[in-house]
Amino acid sequence: MHRAWMDKERFASNSLLTTEYAAGLTEFMTLAGNQESCLTTL
C-alpha cells in the first residue's frame, strides 16, 4: 500500500476528507484490526 493518500487528507476548499484519504484510512484500519495482537485482545 502506498502512503500518498496520507498527504491528501483534506480538501482545501471545505476541509472535508478526500476520498483517497478515507479509502486509505479504511484500508489501514482493516489491516490493523486483523493483526494477531488485536484479534487476541477482543
Task: Report pTM.
Answer: 0.65
pLDDT in tens, the chain (42 residues): 567 777 878 888 888 888 888 888 899 899 888 888 877 865
d(CA 33, CA 36) in angstroms, rounded, equals 8
DSSP 1-42: --SGGGG--B-TTT-PBPHHHHHHHHHHHHHHHTSHHHHH--
Residue 4 cell numbers, joined: 500518498
CB 42 within 8 A of CB 31: no
